[in-house]
Amino acid sequence: MKYPSLALSCVLLSGIGLISCTDATSPPKSPEIKHGTSQMPPSRQYYCWDQQDFNNGSANIKNAACREAFTAAGDADWERARLFNDWNAYSQNIPEGTKPEDVAPDGKLCSAGQDRFNSINIKSAAWHTTDLDVKDGRVQLTYVASQMHDPSEFKVYLTDPDNLNWAALKQSPDVKVTLAPNTKGPGTYYLDVQLPAGYATDSRSVIFIMWQRHEDPARETFFSCSDVVLVNAKR
């Protein structure tokens, strides 16, 4: 009798001293701890994970950008699968005196500067885009957290998909967060975001979000890129 072999991806979860392992030969489950990412509009890695079409390799991945990123993410399927399975682990510590660009240089913002996630930065017109309604210059975002943090801070930026570098980012002047956490468990943040001046509708843009924990001196910060088309909401 033959038994299936297991391909395990194990990573150290920063800041909490735990090890998480994922079996890439079986359908992935949402990680319980690793913290968060943009859910609506979905970050690149969250969208690809949510499709659930990568568990048997790249052949069944429908989205061309997800497939290209998966193929470039390692030499074995367990390495490739963590690109999506670890959708909420795209993070870096940014303590006082450290700048985000010190840990995630230009061209590597979407991956949080982590080498194992580097292929999520690829330039491709095939990345799934979400139509995002704009009303009175504001958009509504949803951020899913497998572990919530209080206090914490959201910074939201807009840029062109061909210019994912720090100098090109335009920061939102106002981000209102509702449903602030009452516990340390999983939950959802709702962001009411004022778009920066000069935003363009009906063309591709990227919403870049940084979510930073403030109850931890390490200031662990989670990065996400969501490909969108801004659309004027119908009144």
Q: Indicate whether 1 belongs to any domain.
A: no
Q: 186 lies in a domain?
A: yes
Residue 150 counted as domain residue: yes
Mean pLDDT within 131-136 = 97
pLDDT tens figures, 139-178: 999 999 988 888 899 999 999 999 999 999 999 999 999 9
Residue 228 has pLDDT above 90, yes or no: yes
Q: Say whether pLDDT at 11 is over 70.
A: no
pLDDT of residue 218: 94
Q: Is residue 118 part of a domain?
A: yes
Domain holding 52: CATH number? 2.70.50.50
Q: Which domain holds residue 110?
A: 8-232
Of the given ranges (61-65, 108-112, 182-186), which has the lowest mean pLDDT? 182-186
Residues of the chain with pLDDT > 70, as a percent, come to 86
Position 215 pLDDT exceeds 90: no
- 15 found inside a domain: yes
Residue 2 within a domain: no
User: For residue 26, is pLDDT > 50?
Assistant: no
Residue 72 burial by Cβ neighbours in a 10 Å radius (0-12, 13-18, 19+) = middle
**Residue 3 included in any domain:** no
SS (H, E, C) the chain: CCCCCCCEEEEEECCCCEEEEEECCCCCCCCCCCCEEEEECECHHHHHHHHCCCCCCCCCCCCHHHHHHHHCCCCCHHHHHHHHHCCCCCEEECCCCCCHHHHCCCCCCCCCCCHHHHHHHCCCCCCCCEEEEEECCEEEEEEEECCCCCCEEEEEEEECCCCCCHHHCEECCEEEEECCCCCCCCEEEEEEEECCCCCCCCCEEEEEEEEEECCCCCCEEEEEEEEEEEEECCC
Residue 36 lies inside a defined structural domain of this protein: yes
Across 184-212, average pLDDT:
94
| pLDDT, mean of residues 62-77 | 96
Asked whether the predicted pLDDT for residue 92 surpasses 80, the reply is yes
Mean pLDDT along residues 216-226: 95
pTM, entire model = 0.85
Res 33: pLDDT = 55
Number of structural domains (the chain) is 1
